[in-house]
Amino acid sequence: MRKVLILGVASLTAGCGGEGGQRTASNDPFCQAVLPAVEAFMAESRARNPTPDDPRYGGTLVIGSIGELADGMNAAISTDYSTTQHQQFVNLMTLIDYDPEGNARPYLAESWDVAPDGTEITFHLRRDVFWHDGEQTDAYDVAFTYETVTDPLTAYPNAAFWDNYVKGPNGVAVVDDFTVVIRLEPHAEFLDPFRSAAILPEHLLGDVPRDQLRVHPYGTQCPVGNGPFVFAEHRPQDRWLFEANPAFPDALGGRPFVDRYVYRIIPEQTTLLTELLTENIDVYISPGPDQAQTIIDNPNLELRSYPFRNYILVGWNSRRPQLADARVRRAITMGTNRAEIVEAILRGYGTVAHTGVPAFHFAHSPEALPRLRYDPERARALLDEAGWRDRDGDGVRESADGTRLSFSIKYNTGNQQRQDIAEIMQSQLAAIGVEAQPQVVEWATLLQQINTPELRDFDGVIIGWVAEFKVDDTDLFHSERIDQPYAWSGTQNPEIDRLLDAISITVDRSEATNLWLEYQRVLIEEQPYTYFYFPDRLDGVNRRVVDVVMDARGEWVNIKDWYLDPSSR
Amino acid sequence: MTKYLARRLLGAIPLVIGIATIVFFAVNLAPGDPTLRFLAPGMNQEVIEQMRANFGLDQPMHIRYVKWLGAMLTGDFGYSFSHSRPVLAVLRDFVPNTLVLSAVALVVAFVLGVLLGTIQAVRQYSKVDSGLSVVLLFFYSMPSFWLALMLILTLSLFARNVWELPIWFPASGMVSTDYEFLSFGAQLRDRFMHLVLPTLSLALVLTAGIARYMRGSMLEVIRQDYIRTAHAKGLSERVVVFKHALRNALIPIITLVGLYIPVLFSGTVFIEYVFAWPGMGRTIYEAILTRDYPLVMAGSFFFAAMVVVANLIADVLYAIVDPRIRYE
């Protein structure tokens, strides 16, 4: 008996001699070459800039979130929200960043000049920023990054950033080591891409073929940044470890207060909440509205909630005869009690949306718009007027030629909020004689059904967008883009085209505000979407973390200024 | 025996390749592709095409299949799209974590199951027997996902925040964030503490099944003549049960190892997800969602191979516990 069991155990455990989850950088030649230089420069910088004698310095900060930082710190290939946050505020630097009001302010670029005709921006870089391996960050890094992200071979996922810029080597010129010029056509919000696209090290990535950047170890195994935190370790699907950068310029606040920052990946929300409540993590990124009260009730924790950039909508396929008439789409919106849905699904943590212009945007002023409110009576009248009546007494309206006012509303598998929306809409719309059938589809399949121009296999679809700071609906509603993936609604409205074109070239914000208002009025009339809500962003934060700023710019915006209450560590 | 093993292993090769082929076409024919996660307005068709070309997806499927098969037979599993690293390196990171979890769970389940089943058989129809039956049935009928959440709720959250017990278990991960700074002893303890909840979630369900089998098997054995002979010789109850009866009663249980290993692997997908355990099941699951074809294929290849090996181990163990069985 003893022999049997021991044998069984031995053969089963034979494969697991090693420790799980070691440093992933260990054996890649690129990483092997790069990391010693980082170690050396960090040791030297620590000796040169000893940590100031201030109780705020020290400790390990732990943030927990459901997702991996997809594609890591390689800013040329990633779009994921948390990932870009880490590129912008943790490991790398952008030329500029935004103040809480959304105005550009210097970051890696100390200052900038815009040519009077708006075709050139000259960035003057800081001279005290170093890559974590000791090389100075200079204009050649900026030029390299610009050429890389505008080169079609890279397949930069945010290629639309550069629509109005001169792409490739002609678009950028190095004036001297710390001055770089970028060429563009004048257009609205032309500084915005430089807030988003982090600068990459030319001396490390300069000779990587651009179509190979996606498989390069830099991003996930050994990123060398120049930001406030130095990469130390990445255990995939488990954690990222960053350490304070002792060489971060004093003028930008010097080294961060915390010694170490750990980003933990915990895919299950209940587990995340438990880890926050048992103080194994300090910050829980984006808990569900159903978890908010538990966080509020715990005296050690604080619930942050603020308007954010994403919104949920029901997109209508106007190619379908039932949905072709804007009056029908307006009636559907008026037949849906969105305020009640926000209360029920988001427990009040959200605002009803009327267009896709979010709260942080300069043109956000819903009170100036002719909003469609819940009004089943008017919805019924509008449907009657459009010729949809219940002709056979089955409770569902028909048109004169017998088409039933019936359609499906698709949403993706495993999304409870969207399922709730679909089901509530089904029952509310039934009251005005409209038949909506919820239909659940796997995510990738759904995207293919709605995005493939030849297919557009949907009537209505519940989906969400994350708006960038520069809001641009051209891809969604401009008739020129009707054969592109995101023209879900199939909108063809000359007024919308004209206004979108005008907005995209208007640099002056007060002039642009008027255009935006006009555009939104037409959009509400057209109702290509039933805009649902802007959910508030929620975050659970342990009170031992001090000076945390979180707003529409993101959770990580001032992470270098956070410190841990000294009595808590 | 060696010949037999060699024959079994050779026979498994077409099986594993066949499974991998089916998986290849299944994931490639599924709607969507790896560029989907970059969905955003402004992502025009040219960028998507270039991205596909960079991923090597611009060739027709049958060409990719032949290339992939050829490369795989030489041990090259390609590059993972979502990890930006060779697939083998990804497997090297995650496979040991899954093996640790499932091996410990399997050992715990077997030791507990055999022990409880034996006790039940020896004390048949006693209060202990029926009590254990109820408890085991309770765990047996519980989905491991839910059991995992309940364990987190009680042994982690309530134990620390409500009952304020001196010992509570961390709800996620393999090690603490300050692991590097711990002494060797504390590191061992840290690892153990992190193993407890996921292992229990996996093992309790299996234990229940094994105990039922063990009880039945043991009941059959203790009625045999040679057990009566052993009793008649005046041997103590303990010696009779553990030396004479147990070994024979174990034979049918050993085959369960082979049956349970696939169950265990599919179970780890949920458990790894709930406990944020960086293992293979969760990685493959996410690879499927992001259409990371090379990783999905390598992962299923690995699991198929593991199941074949597990069955083989069960057959070998069979021969070891039962001298009457000989493989030619």
> What is the mean pLDDT for each group of 10 consecutive residues in chain B (328 residues)?
83 85 88 78 78 88 90 87 88 92 93 95 93 93 89 96 94 93 95 96 91 94 91 88 88 80 83 94 89 89 83 79 72
- Inter-chain CB proximity A152 and B50 less than 8 Å: yes
Q: Best of A62, A74, A148, A237 to disrupt the B interface by mutation (most B CBs within 10 Å)?
A: A237
What are the CA-CA distances from residue B227 to residues A41, B236, B251, B325 (Å)?
74, 11, 16, 21
Domain membership of residue B120 as a residue range: 87-321
- Inter-chain CB proximity B97 and A21 less than 8 Å: yes
B42 assigned to some structural domain: no
Taking the CA atoms of A135, A137, A140 and A145 in sequence, report the sign of the dihedral they define.
positive
- Inter-chain CB proximity A153 and B50 less than 8 Å: yes
DSSP helix/strand/coil, A287: coil
**How far away is chain B from the Cα of A58, in angstroms, using its nearest Cα?**
13
Residues of A in contact with B321 (CB under 8 A): 4
Q: What is the pLDDT of residue B315?
A: 80
CA distance B169 to B248: 38
Q: Which residue has the tokens 């980003």?
A: A263
pTM of the entire predicted model: 0.90
B278 assigned to some structural domain: yes
DSSP helix/strand/coil, A416: helix
Residues of A in contact with B286 (CB under 8 A): 68, 237
- Inter-chain CB proximity B317 and A235 less than 8 Å: no
**Which among A197, A41, A207 has a CA at the least distance from the CA of A109?**
A197
CA distance A326 to A53: 66
Model confidence pLDDT, tens digit, residues A62-87:
999 999 999 999 999 988 899 999 99
Cβ A445 vs Cβ B32: under 8 Å: yes
Strand-pairing partners, residue A61, are A261
What are the CA-CA distances from residue A504 to residues A121, A235, A515 (Å)?
18, 43, 10
CA distance A516 to A328: 24
Cβ A302 vs Cβ A547: under 8 Å: no
What are the CA-CA distances from residue A64 to residues A92, A264, A329, B143 (Å)?
20, 5, 41, 26
Model confidence pLDDT, tens digit, residues A116-134:
999 999 999 999 999 999 9
Establish, for the pair of chains A and B, how many residue pairs have beta carbons separated by less than 8 Å.
Answer: 227
- Inter-chain CB proximity B47 and A277 less than 8 Å: no
Residues of B in contact with A68 (CB under 8 A): 286
Q: Best of A2, A4, A31 to disrupt the B interface by mutation (most B CBs within 10 Å)?
A: A4
**How far away is chain A from the Cα of B245, in angstroms, using its nearest Cα?**
10
Tokens of B234: 């005046």
User: Taking chain A (569 residues) in consecutive chunks of 10 residues, what is each chunk's mean pLDDT?
Assistant: 34 33 59 93 95 95 96 92 96 96 94 95 98 97 97 90 93 97 94 96 96 91 96 94 97 96 96 97 96 97 95 96 97 96 94 94 93 96 96 94 96 92 96 97 89 94 88 93 92 97 93 96 97 96 97 96 94
Cβ B284 vs Cβ B270: under 8 Å: no
**Number of CB atoms found within 10 A of residue B101's CB:** 28
B14 assigned to some structural domain: no
Nearest to A275 among B172, B250, B282 (CB): B172
**Number of CB atoms found within 10 A of residue A495's CB:** 14
Strand-pairing partners, residue A534, are A351
CA distance A74 to A218: 7
What order do you get walking across the sheet with A109-114 strand by strand? A109-114, A120-125, A179-183, A172-176
Q: What is the mean pLDDT of chain A?
A: 92
Nearest to B177 among A68, A160, A262 (CB): A262
**Which among A168, A270, A154 has a CA at the least distance from the CA of A211?**
A154
Model confidence pLDDT, tens digit, residues A349-392:
999 999 999 999 999 999 999 999 999 999 999 999 999 999 99
Question: Residue B143: which CATH number?
Answer: 1.10.3720.10
Domains contained in chain A, CATH given: 310-535 (3.10.105.10)
Tokens of A145: 């990054």
Tokens of B96: 């040991």
Q: Which residue has the tokens 């610009």?
A: A146
In angstroms, how far is the first alpha carbon of chain A from the final one?
51
What are the CA-CA distances from residue B9 to residues A11, B263, B301, B305 (Å)?
16, 21, 15, 10
**Which among A239, A454, A408, A47 has a CA at the least distance from the CA of B175?**
A239
Q: Which residue has the tokens 């996922």?
A: A157
- Inter-chain CB proximity A60 and B39 less than 8 Å: no
Tokens of A158: 């945010």
Q: Nearest residue of A to residue B283 by CA position?
A: A237
What are the CA-CA distances from residue A129 to residues A123, A172, A249 (Å)?
15, 21, 6
B274 assigned to some structural domain: yes
CA distance A326 to A524: 10
CA distance A179 to A197: 18
B15 assigned to some structural domain: no
Total number of domains constituting chain B:
1
Nearest to B273 among A216, A220, A267 (CB): A267
- Inter-chain CB proximity B95 and A156 less than 8 Å: no
**Number of CB atoms found within 10 A of residue B25's CB:** 12
Nearest to A266 among B172, B242, B283 (CB): B172
Q: What is the pLDDT of residue B307?
A: 83
CA distance A127 to A138: 8
Q: Nearest residue of A to residue B97 by CA position?
A: A20
**Which among B210, B213, B238 has a CA at the least distance from the CA of B107?**
B210
**Which among B65, B68, B94 has a CA at the least distance from the CA of B79?**
B68
Q: Determine what percent of chain A falls in helix, strand and coil, rounding each to the nearest 5.
A: 35, 20, 40
B20 assigned to some structural domain: no
Look up residue A193 and give its DSSP letter.
Answer: H
Spell out the alpha helix ranges (H) of A394-507. Answer: 416-430, 443-451, 474-477, 494-505
Nearest to B171 among A157, A275, A451 (CB): A275
- Inter-chain CB proximity A266 and B156 less than 8 Å: no
DSSP helix/strand/coil, A164: coil
Q: Nearest residue of A to residue B86 by CA position?
A: A215
B328 assigned to some structural domain: no
Say what percent of chain B tops pLDDT 90.
44
**How far away is chain A from the Cα of B138, in angstroms, using its nearest Cα?**
23
**How far away is chain A from the Cα of B250, in angstroms, using its nearest Cα?**
9
Q: What is the pLDDT of residue B319?
A: 77
Residues of A in contact with B43 (CB under 8 A): 157-160, 485
